Structure 1
């Protein structure tokens, strides 16, 4: 499905390396805290933010429940407006469609608007194999592309780079892709932006084909929407003769009235602005205005499978604002590359495994890339309960179970390496169901507490590599209860051990 980057190790291995990079952690800490603080001020301006958040979640849920209807309505609207709709079941099919469409134009270069969907399917690499060069025009995406790098943030893909690194990338690499960087380029933001503007202007003026994603698609009119801060996206959407948009099927909204809700939620949650500086909309084609040919590629690539999961489907509400990344303590320390996917952070930890059907070691590790602190849920503008989905996916990793994979209900086997965890959980469950055994175990642990090691052996070693074994109290709660309340006192709730009368019945404590 091409959701994860090839050759990426599981999250713990990648994070072990990235967390030791002090410069990376410094860049991330400064950037995420700055964005987070600005967002708090922008959200505080709206007295009805909570109601907007609820409305956004409800619109998304209603759309997902009737997704087939709205997608067919979207197709009819786009076609009526002069566009052509293509359906792609997976990354391979989407790449084949886009490659064919570009070849039919006779061009060998395309310009691109920042697009998470095209990163997800590896479109740039697929085009390169076909002899077609794709040029990223978003400033941060340009930095990533010139540096032979991967994005590390949804909103700010080059968040892991500082100004000095960007200057060096421009000096060394810009000339290979087109107009070189000016002589004596410094790391001043204004000079870096001007170098990028001059470099990209040549691409815009020469390009005949543009490729985009979309933040939203309006079913009732067939309109696509891109929001951005630089204006480069608008150049890609209006100057080329052919425009190809690759969009996930979950991005559809029923009406313009529904769109209005998200145009309030998205800018405040992402860039901490009341409105995005550039909100571009296009509907099909128009004579002598904009591209002559418009193609919409509707991408599934695991989204229908995710929709079939009653707990996991809320992930498809995501509007790619990145608010969850900016508040996540794990992301702030590990960085986006550790997630091995175009979708980093908390949302990536639940989206990537579902789109990928939990088929790799990386997928199985991502649901554990969280402390379950819940900050991501509090920040999410469409109220995705990310901790709930993380726990749900962890259960699938450890226990396996029934899931939808490529449209078929399938029994998923547990991931490798969790046999000891399953055995421990079964033993704990049995013990908690037998209070006499639990009490005996508590007494033994209390007597042996001085012998308790600081690190566990065997499979438990991985758990204690990052945390201490909790200290065992000298006295269990049940023993304390009987000592302080007397043997005739009512047993605490949940204690069904033998009572004072020897009957083994628990007294009524209501």
Structure 2
């Protein structure tokens, strides 16, 4: 069952950058071997966690704010089609044009067409997870249109021909020395004596971008929140580049995931308190840009809003799973996740990494059998619950992870090695004699033990299991043997 948001049916690839190309364990093993990556991630996430804890601790009613955010988001999901229609009417009444895109391909086709209509062959962009999701930059490039990312971290990723690995800090996997080398190698007219001092790096990026801001005729943005009753679009950021992108071009095209809508301005107030503290560890965002349609003589004179579904209707149809659409992309769950901290975002394959990505990506595109890369994502977690504690809108990510693990099991068309192992265990435990025999066989594992642990066992199934974990050495005496000896004495 899906909840139809009234979008036209288009036969196309619905995935964009929502799917990886290899299972999480394979990518994670490679990431774990990269000591520089682990050092970069560990330093960055520890710093962000400490900043967040300090500013959250200042708010006496933080838990009440979290519950308020949760309630607003639940209300939005309960009447999403109605709110989107209201948003469309409000934007249209203020001179904007609204487009509906069922999937990534349709969204890209709409945006490419709009840029071509302006006659421009280049655009400037402010950070947008939605356009990363659809692969818009690649689509623009294929159409002969150059797209320049203006967010500093996104620019670093673009110049290095890399992919984002974090919601808030897309280049979190890079350190200052690596960024300096990227600028020296890829940025034209950069000072050859550039150092890795953060201020010098920021100034080099500013000089590079300023020329583009002044010449660009088309800007493309994402959305943090959209207010249904006024048609107001809001983008929050920390650098000011976004404001340049949103105000200087003649044409502004905004791509928005349909879940970003909120009913009223008073609802927006809740999230403008939750988001900065949970993401950047700040009391408020340095730059909050809001606009409603078109204002003659002020800012872009043509405004297009592209509403993107791309699987969100499927998620909305699940009474529990729709919680994942509450996400405000703050990245708090990534910063506290012990798995993400060690593997980074690229191991997840999808543009949405970390705990929320591990439940959102499979829901958006489905799990098609045990070999589907999505089937491994819900297992990329220790289920420690830190993600729920950190989430500013109280998404029960551990519960959703368990749900998606069940979906992965149900997608199996044939018994897996785990299924066979569980059936064998059930058969052994159903009979005292078989259980006793199993105990004697397990004791042979002592022959494979090294330093009190078994770290590898021959055989393809066992090798896969022990490749990710080890187990204690079996005791020399089973409980039954100990009990029998005790009774005899």
Indicate yes or no: 2:260 matched with 1:251.
yes
| Aligned residue number for residue 390 of structure 1 | 401
Indicate how the Cα distance of structure 1 residues 205 and 424 shifts in structure 2: closer, same or farther if over 3 A, else same: same
Indicate yes or no: 2:421 matched with 1:424.
yes
CA deviation string 1:22-74 (max 9, x = no partner): 11111111000000011011110111111111111111011101111111111
CA deviation string 1:195-231 (max 9, x = no partner): 1111110011001100001001111111111010000
Q: What secondary structure is seen at the aligned counterpart in 1 of 2:471?
A: coil
| Aligned residue number for residue 47 of structure 1 | 60
Indicate yes or no: 2:371 matched with 1:374.
no
Q: What secondary structure is seen at the aligned counterpart in 2 of 1:87?
A: strand
Indicate yes or no: 2:248 matched with 1:215.
no
| Aligned residue number for residue 271 of structure 1 | 280
| Aligned residue number for residue 460 of structure 1 | 462
The equivalences for 1:220-299 within 5 A come to: 220-299=229-308
How far apart in 1 are the matches of 2:176 and 2:282? 23
| Aligned residue number for residue 71 of structure 2 | 58
The equivalences for 1:27-38 within 5 A come to: 27-38=40-51
Of the candidates 121, 127, 149, which is equivalent to residue 136 of structure 1? 149
Across the two proteins, how many residue pairs are aligned to each other? 463
CA deviation string 1:327-349 (max 9, x = no partner): 11111111111111221111111
Structure of larger gyration radius: 1
| Aligned residue number for residue 108 of structure 1 | 121
Which stretch of the first structure deviates more once superposed, 190-199 or 452-461? 452-461
Aligned-pair distance for 1:415?
A: 6.6
Of the candidates 390, 395, 399, which is equivalent to residue 410 of structure 2? 399
The equivalences for 1:111-122 within 5 A come to: 111-122=124-135
| Aligned residue number for residue 302 of structure 1 | 311
Indicate how the Cα distance of structure 1 residues 144 and 225 shifts in structure 2: closer, same or farther if over 3 A, else same: same
| Aligned residue number for residue 451 of structure 1 | 444
Answer whether contact 1:4 1:352 (CA < 8 A) is retained.
no
CA deviation string 1:253-289 (max 9, x = no partner): 1111111111111000000001000011010000101
Answer whether contact 2:19 2:361 (CA < 8 A) is retained.
no
Indicate how the Cα distance of structure 1 residues 415 and 376 shifts in structure 2: closer, same or farther if over 3 A, else same: farther
Indicate how the Cα distance of structure 1 residues 301 and 431 shifts in structure 2: closer, same or farther if over 3 A, else same: farther
Q: What secondary structure is seen at the aligned counterpart in 2 of 1:244?
A: strand
Aligned-pair distance for 1:396?
A: 1.2
TM-score by length of 2: 0.89
| Aligned residue number for residue 321 of structure 1 | 330
Q: What secondary structure is seen at the aligned counterpart in 2 of 1:285?
A: coil
The equivalences for 1:483-502 within 5 A come to: none
| Aligned residue number for residue 183 of structure 1 | 192
TM-score by length of 1: 0.86
Q: Which runs of 5+ in 2 are unaligned?
A: 1-13, 449-453
CA deviation string 1:351-406 (max 9, x = no partner): 11222222573212211211111111111111111111111111111222xxxxxx
RMSD value, Cα: 2.4
Answer whether contact 2:218 2:252 (CA < 8 A) is retained.
yes
Aligned-pair distance for 1:445?
A: 4.1
How far apart in 1 are the matches of 2:215 and 2:134? 26
Indicate yes or no: 2:316 matched with 1:339.
no
Q: Which runs of 5+ in 1 are unaligned?
A: 401-413, 485-510
| Aligned residue number for residue 209 of structure 2 | 200
Answer whether contact 2:190 2:204 (CA < 8 A) is retained.
yes
Indicate yes or no: 2:97 matched with 1:84.
yes
Answer whether contact 1:399 1:422 (CA < 8 A) is retained.
no
Indicate how the Cα distance of structure 1 residues 48 and 304 shifts in structure 2: closer, same or farther if over 3 A, else same: same
Q: What secondary structure is seen at the aligned counterpart in 1 of 2:303?
A: strand
Answer whether contact 1:3 1:355 (CA < 8 A) is retained.
no
Answer whether contact 2:257 2:307 (CA < 8 A) is retained.
yes
Indicate how the Cα distance of structure 1 residues 378 and 431 shifts in structure 2: closer, same or farther if over 3 A, else same: farther
Aligned-pair distance for 1:451?
A: 1.3
Structure with greater contact order relative to length (CA < 8 Å, sep ≥ 6): 2
Answer whether contact 2:428 2:438 (CA < 8 A) is retained.
no
